[in-house]
Structure 1
């Protein structure tokens, strides 16, 4: 593990043996860690790869160590230069790609809302800004995240987690406003997608759930969620796949349970959204 002052991932030579390289560009690499339920750590250096829309269904809190990231979040394009904080609310689909030739290096923690509430004693956190340029805080956040990676005692981990959230507390609204409802019939469509991940769904089925004509549904869904129903379905499928992989379920079974064609389909789709193969993800989690 890197020292607490480190803000970049280890060189390729210390990556996991026997795990196939997920990226085409040799400089692209990523690493996951799930030290306890509801908390996932992630660090990466991405040069060429472009992440497709995906969700972590958790707060995404982190810092840009070098380079510039471009990502789409909540219907808008954002740029995060070095020294920036990144703050994503739960359930928000987002993308990610480099905005500079040298790519970008970043460190993130994905923390379930229930964990945030338990650690801070406050419910209903929400961030209005996805990016905040503040090099001093970003440097401290980088150190906190590195310390979480190297923590070898539960007390040390819990203490660093508290300190990490304390860094973001001044930027959060504690009373989270209700998500704009828009057309509430579309919420029922998302619930239907989530409940039928393994099914081959049609636009006509979803339109029947919403009580709209098929292409009217498609237009309204895109306007409200900034993605198509298919993109939302794939994001939900891959989040469920990630959850099942963390339980140790074999990738082939995960693929079937999450509604993907086979293990090869799971691998391709997982890499596009999370930057590592399912096998690599599982092995990284087992190393903690």
Structure 2
């Protein structure tokens, strides 16, 4: 029945030409069609039966589906349980530069992944995380970029194009520049491009080297800096809602959750405890 089928498309407010689809369907069948974007999906419940690349596929929960641009496919729910899945669509002109960085080459044209259906828990995690951030409207630009770079690097691996051990010269000096840039712009909506440019590194190598050097991703580091900056202002009696807005949290609830994960209490309790 039509009422059993739900389709929700959400466009990212931070990343150009990236759209997320959440679908739940029972008794609906797609006609054969093709998209101009790369599509990365995860089957959540039920069974996803579809035709692609001349082959009929069956995707059960946890499988990753990858469809190349202009690849003809169809799809419907298989089995007795209703189907639900999430799909991320990203245009080649936005994805292929990220693939090139992951592959350590100047450019990639007409990029293709050979596998349509795969078991890759790491890639699955990046897809579902990016879908969650975009759909919930809670992810900052750097957080969404990080998840998309994860998808690009795994796609490069599956295509056999990956530079696993490239290391920049003098990484400590370059990464200190990135760290200093973050501290100087902690209240800004930072992007990976801005920070990596400050370090004179490609975005892909910056991501890998930064985590190796500091023990956390750039997003986590930026978030930690924002929490610490907000804490310093809590000491002076600053308004919680003003701080949440100033340091890029989605809302006061988001600020509360993140602060508590670091300091064991909400910002309000912390402020009350130090002003007694």
Question: Which protein has greater RCO, CA pairs closer than 8 Å, 6+ apart?
Answer: 1
TM-score by length of 1: 0.48
- How high is the TM-score relative to the length of structure 2? 0.50
Q: Radius of gyration: which is bigger?
A: 2
